[in-house]
Structure formats: structure tokens, C-alpha cells
């Protein structure tokens, strides 16, 4: 196959690197490419948004698949132009790319298909926009409707800042036509994460979750940028929240586009705000993120080309992704002054030394050639990306590589991945053990409660019958690991809770699960009928039992944790208020 990759940033270098590993690929072209892509792909001196010239090149050179990296050409309709000529292209149509190209379109789509997102409205009148900002209150967010190179989102801590952002966008034309319409939104609280999936318009296949770092400086300070680094996996998006993101965000978004007659094919990226057990969409992108692509593709073990072809021809349901269990961290090395004004043409040293470090790739973003020298040509210059058995190991390796690199005025954040390390360092207080992965749909109800009370937990699968030694190890090790309560969910004979209770002095909560012809009564009786000296606190069958197990675990922990105890009081009051509200509706 002959592949054309469109774009010249870090994302595109990573794509070229990954595609070059495919045994089905004979030759790669990259338009326009950068100093890094030239080693793997033939550079094509055509701008990424010159759609006509790119289509003519693809036709003339009999390109088998074109991979569109940046959002600009997608929003302008490059996929439509290529398909008209019978050329295969990986990326959504112009109509589908509106999910990124227009904040108004995206907001309307989310509202129509009940996808959780921030409350907000669109305006072309600055006076009305300012009035709505006052209705929402500060902090709030002002967004340019169109594409603004990742800089059209202004977080406003005060109403004065909101007024300024509105004025700059609508009246002062700061982002050109992209800011002629603005969206004013509530400012969501929580922690951001990136959830990216491949889709053929029907099937949605998630890639590894990641977390970007948008602010220019450490501790999330300084102006917004296109991204100063990223890592994967992101523990803020655990299994429960990834499942939730698929059910509540990705699948409804793709199904909604199909219902609208504009099927979405390619990459769908949801920027999410995570707050305890809740997720809300900050924005949709219609391509791979940059710098998220770097750690994600470092971890993807699949040949990427068949996955992209499947997105084009509607056969994605025949594929699954295989992920390297190791962590990956990308640190972006930027030009001095970025994201403001910066100088170009500085020679870069240390690239070979950095690339020689084990499990490390230096992906080029803003680079070009000056004779035989690699020089800077952009604000985000390099994406130094490393793998490690743990997030901390990946961080250490990436920063060791960064220390090898130098150019005039260069800088990079020193805290990429620190949030993950901090989160992973918190020991779990509750262990949730399931007899089978099919029990997750029930046990998820316990996890929701634990998240609401900010109680750290772990989830795993162990069978009382098939892996009794593993179950015994989990039970005997739990107390030493700081666990205070164990919740066990199982169906059929349901001896899991009893086996766990036999090997620990911790309180064990058993959740019988309906998974047999006896509708859960077998699991209930097996869980209740423990022998003397092996107590198990038995919950109700199914989801209500899992829900109560989460609350019961919180009550046990609350005996020694004042913070959890206080939240329990508020939880009880909230339940009472809801009942009173329902009662009032009958008055």
C-alpha cells in the first residue's frame, strides 16, 4: 500500500512512525511533514489545507489510503473531496466534522441526544453574551464557535474577564470568523481527561484513555496551549468511568450522527471533565489529539492500518485493540515565549542521544531542516515520549531524554504525569471483588457510591471455584494493603464472599447476583448461609444490593473517618429532601 499522511506536527510524525511498522505498507508520503517524518516518509511540499492539490497528488500517485491528521482540512471537507474522486480517506466528512468545527453544532447535538455537557448558549450579540455570563456567574467559559488552533477557549475567573473575552472575540475579531459567534458556558469542576475512539459510523472502538496538560506552566498555571504533554493510562478514568463514557458519550454521539444522515467515520475525541462518578463533555474533536497521540500509539500494539481501513469500509466490528500494559508519557519541549510570540530557526542538539534511550521516541512537531541541521519552526517543537512499567518509570525516562535536548530558549513542564502518580499513591480503602467480569454491570452501583464519597477502591475478578488460591491471597493481603472493607459480588453458588471471609478479619459485604434460572435466590441463600465464625453481611440481590453495599462500606469507614461521616449525614439529608419533594408534588 501507498499511504499519504496529511499534516506536519507531532501527531503526524507519530502516525507516520506507527504506519511505517505495518507490513502491508510499501511507501509513505507526508504533506508537508517535518524534520522527523523525512526519515520514514517522502515529504510532499503541499499545505495541509490545500485540498485540491492534495487530491490531485493522491490521484496521480495512486495513493491507497490518505490519513488526515489536523482538523482544518477535515472541517473544510477534504474527506468529501477525496471520496468524490474515489480515493480512500481516513477522517470524517465535512458535515460530520462540524462536531469540532462548530461549538454551536456540537452543543446542539449533545443536547439533542442527551449527552452530558456544560450548560451554555451561543451568541453573536456581545450585550446578550455578557448578560448570559452574569446569569451563569463566574467562573465561566467563553468559546469561539469555530476553529482557533486550540486557543479559542477562555476560562474566565471573573465577569470582567468574561466581558473582555466576549469583546475580543466578537468585536475585535481576535480569532477571525471563528469568533464571530461565541458560546458562553458554565465552568465545570473536576479533572480533565481525554477519551478517544475509532469508529466506522456504527461500531465504536475505544483507544487507551489519556490526560493532556493544556496550561503552559507547572501546576496548571499560565496561558492555555495546544498541549504541553500527555500520559496514558489516566487513572482518573477508571474502568467504570470508561464504560460510562462509552455508554453516555461516544455511542450516543456516533448513533446520533447516523440518525442525522451524517455518519461519522474516523476518530472521535471527547474531552471530558470528571467529577467523582460524573462525566461531562468539554468538547468534541474529530481527529487524534496532539500530544495524546504520542503516548496512545506508543501503547497500541495493533497494526494501525487495518484499523483505519475498517473505519473506512464499515468493518470495525471485526477488530479489537491490543494495548501494551505499560504506561507512556509525552513531554512537549517548546520554544521560548510559546504560546505567545517566539523565534524560529534555532538549531536543536541532542536528538540522537535522546532517541538512544530505551523505550523512547522523540516525535517532531515544530521542526524543519536548515541544510543538515534540524531547527525549530514552531511553538511546540518536540514530543519526547517514553514507555515504563509504571507511570513514574515512564516519567523518569522521558525527563532523562529531555535533559539530552537543547536549543535556545527551550522549556518544558516538569510535572507531566504528576496527577497520575499522586492518584495512584492513594491506597484503596475498599476492595471490590467479582466472581466474573459479567458481574460488573451490577457491581458498578457500589462503585458509584464509593466515588460519591471519595473513597478509593480497587476492582478485580476472582473465582471461589476456579481460582480459589487467588481469592485467598486477595483476602489475606487486603488488610496489609490498607483495605478496610471487602465487597464481594457473585452469582450461582456464590461462595466467593465466604471464601474471602474465611481468609480475613475485615468486614465482608456479600452481593448476590441474579445469574441463574433461580433468579438469584441460589446466590442469596449461598451468601446468607455462612458457617459459624465466618460472618458475611448479606445485601439484597442485584443492583440495589450493590448500591447498599457501597453505602454500608461508607458507614463502616465513616466510624473512623470524620470526612466520610460528614458526607453520610449530607447524603441522608439529600435522600430525605428528594422524598419530601416527591410528596409535595401530590399536595
Determine whether 561 is exposed, middle or buried from the number of CB atoms within 10 Å of its CB (0-12, 13-18, 19+): middle
Q: In the prediction, which pLDDT does 451 show?
A: 97
CA–CA distance, 487 with 478 (Å, rounded to integer) = 12
CA–CA distance, 288 with 69 (Å, rounded to integer) = 7
Determine whether 230 is exposed, middle or buried from the number of CB atoms within 10 Å of its CB (0-12, 13-18, 19+): buried
Q: In the prediction, which pLDDT does 537 show?
A: 96
Q: Which residues contact 504 (CB under 8 A, 6 or more apart)?
A: 475, 476, 478, 479, 486
CA–CA distance, 270 with 206 (Å, rounded to integer) = 11
**Count of CB atoms situated within 10 Å of the CB of 523:** 31
Identify which of 477, 484, 433 has the alpha carbon closest to the alpha carbon of residue 456. 484
Q: In the prediction, which pLDDT does 493 show?
A: 83
CA–CA distance, 266 with 68 (Å, rounded to integer) = 9
Q: In the prediction, which pLDDT does 200 show?
A: 98
Q: What is the mean pLDDT of each run of 10 residues along the chain (587 residues)?
A: 98 98 98 97 98 98 98 97 97 98 95 96 94 95 86 90 94 89 95 97 98 95 93 97 97 98 98 96 96 98 98 98 98 97 97 98 98 97 98 98 98 98 96 96 97 97 93 96 97 92 97 94 92 94 98 98 97 94 88
Sign of dihedral through CA atoms 127, 129, 131, 134? negative
267: left (phi over 0), alpha (psi -120 to 50) or beta: beta
Q: In the prediction, which pLDDT does 149 show?
A: 73
CA 322 to chain centre: 17
Q: In the prediction, which pLDDT does 152 show?
A: 85
Q: In the prediction, which pLDDT does 269 show?
A: 98
pTM of the model: 0.93
Amino acid at each position: 500500500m501507498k499511504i499519504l499522511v496529511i499534516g506536519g506536527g507531532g501527531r503526524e510524525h507519530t502516525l507516520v512512525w506507527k504506519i511505517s511498522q505495518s507490513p502491508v505498507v510499501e511507501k509513505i508520503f507526508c504533506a508537508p511533514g517535518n524534520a522527523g517524518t523525512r526519515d520514514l516518509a517522502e515529504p510532499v511540499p503541499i499545505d495541509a489545507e490545500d485540498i485540491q492539490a492534495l487530491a490531485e497528488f493522491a490521484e496521480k500517485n495512486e495513493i491507497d489510503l490518505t490519513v488526515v491528521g489536523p482538523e482544518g482540512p477535515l472541517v473544510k471537507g477534504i474527506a468529501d473531496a477525496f471520496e468524490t474522486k474515489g480515493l480512500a480517506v481516513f477522517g470524517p466528512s465535512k458535515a460530520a466534522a462540524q462536531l469540532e468545527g462548530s461549538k454551536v453544532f456540537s452543543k446542539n447535538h449533545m443536547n439533542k441526544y442527551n449527552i452530558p455537557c456544560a450548560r451554555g448558549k451561543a451568541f453573536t450579540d456581545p450585550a446578550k453574551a455578557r448578560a448570559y455570563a452574569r446569569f451563569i456567574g463566574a467562573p465561566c467559559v467563553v468559546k469561539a464557535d469555530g476553529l482557533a488552533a486550540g486557543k479559542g477557549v477562555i476560562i474566565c475567573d471573573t465577569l470582567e474577564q468574561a466581558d473582555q473575552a466576549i469583546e475580543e472575540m466578537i468585536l475585535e475579531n481576535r480569532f477571525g470568523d471563528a469568533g464571530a459567534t461565541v458560546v458562553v458556558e458554565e465552568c465545570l469542576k473536576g479533572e480533565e481527561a481525554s477519551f478517544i475512539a475509532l469508529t466506522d459510523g456504527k461500531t465504536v472502538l475505544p483507544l487507551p484513555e489519556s490526560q493532556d496538560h493544556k496550561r503552559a506552566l507547572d501546576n496548571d498555571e499560565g496561558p492555555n496551549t495546544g498541549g504541553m504533554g500527555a500520559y496514558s493510562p489516566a487513572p482518573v478514568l477508571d474502568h467504570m468511568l470508561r464504560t460510562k463514557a462509552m455508554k453516555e458519550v461516544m455511542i450516543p454521539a456516533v448513533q446520533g450522527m447516523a440518525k442525522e444522515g451524517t455518519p461519522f467515520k474516523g476518530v472521535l475525541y471527547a474531552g471530558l471533565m470528571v467529577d467523582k462518578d460524573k462525566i461531562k463533555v468539554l468538547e468534541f474533536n474529530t481527529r487524534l489529539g496532539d500530544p495524546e497521540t504520542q503516548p496512545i500509539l506508543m501503547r497500541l500494539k495493533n497494526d494501525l492500518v487495518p484499523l483505519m481501513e475498517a473505519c473506512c469500509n464499515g468493518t470495525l466490528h471485526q477488530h479489537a485493540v491490543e494495548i501494551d500494559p505499560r504506561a507512556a508519557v509525552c513531554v512537549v519541549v517548546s520554544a521560548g515565549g510559546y504560546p505567545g510570540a517566539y523565534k524560529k530557526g534555532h538549531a536543536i542538539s541532542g536528538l540522537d542521544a535522546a532517541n538512544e534511550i530505551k523505550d523512547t521516541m522523540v516525535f517532531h512537531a515544530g521542526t524543519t531542516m536548515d541544510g543538515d541541521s534540524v531547527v525549530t519552526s514552531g511553538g511546540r517543537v518536540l514530543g519526547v515520549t517514553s514507555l515504563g512499567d509504571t507511570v513514574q518509570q515512564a516519567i523518569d525516562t522521558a525527563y532523562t531524554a529531555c535533559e539530552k535536548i537543547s536549543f535556545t530558549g527551550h522549556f518544558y513542564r516538569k510535572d507531566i504525569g504528576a496527577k497520575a502518580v499522586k492518584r495512584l499513591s492513594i491506597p484503596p480503602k475498599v476492595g471490590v471483588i467479582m466472581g466474573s467480569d459479567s458481574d460488573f454491570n451490577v457491581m458498578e452501583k457500589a462503585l458509584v457510591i464509593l466515588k460519591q464519597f471519595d473513597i478509593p477502591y480497587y476492582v478485580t475478578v476472582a473465582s471461589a471455584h476456579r481460582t480459589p488460591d487467588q481469592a485467598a491471597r486477595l483476602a489475606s493481603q487486603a488488610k496489609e494493603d490498607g483495605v478496610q472493607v471487602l465487597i464481594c459480588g457473585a452469582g450461582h453458588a456464590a461462595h466467593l464472599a465466604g471464601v474471602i471471609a474465611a481468609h480475613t478479619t475485615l468486614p465482608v459485604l456479600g452481593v448476590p447476583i441474579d445469574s441463574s434460572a433461580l433468579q438469584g435466590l441460589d446466590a442469596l441463600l449461598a451468601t446468607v448461609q455462612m458457617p459459624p465464625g465466618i460472618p458475611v453481611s448479606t445485601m439484597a440481590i442485584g443492583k440495589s444490593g450493590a448500591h447498599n453495599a457501597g453505602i454500608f462500606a461508607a458507614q463502616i469507614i465513616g466510624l473512623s473517618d470524620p470526612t466520610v461521616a460528614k458526607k453520610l449525614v449530607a447524603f441522608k439529608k439529600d435522600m430525605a429532601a428528594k422524598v419530601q419533594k416527591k410528596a409535595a408534588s401530590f399536595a
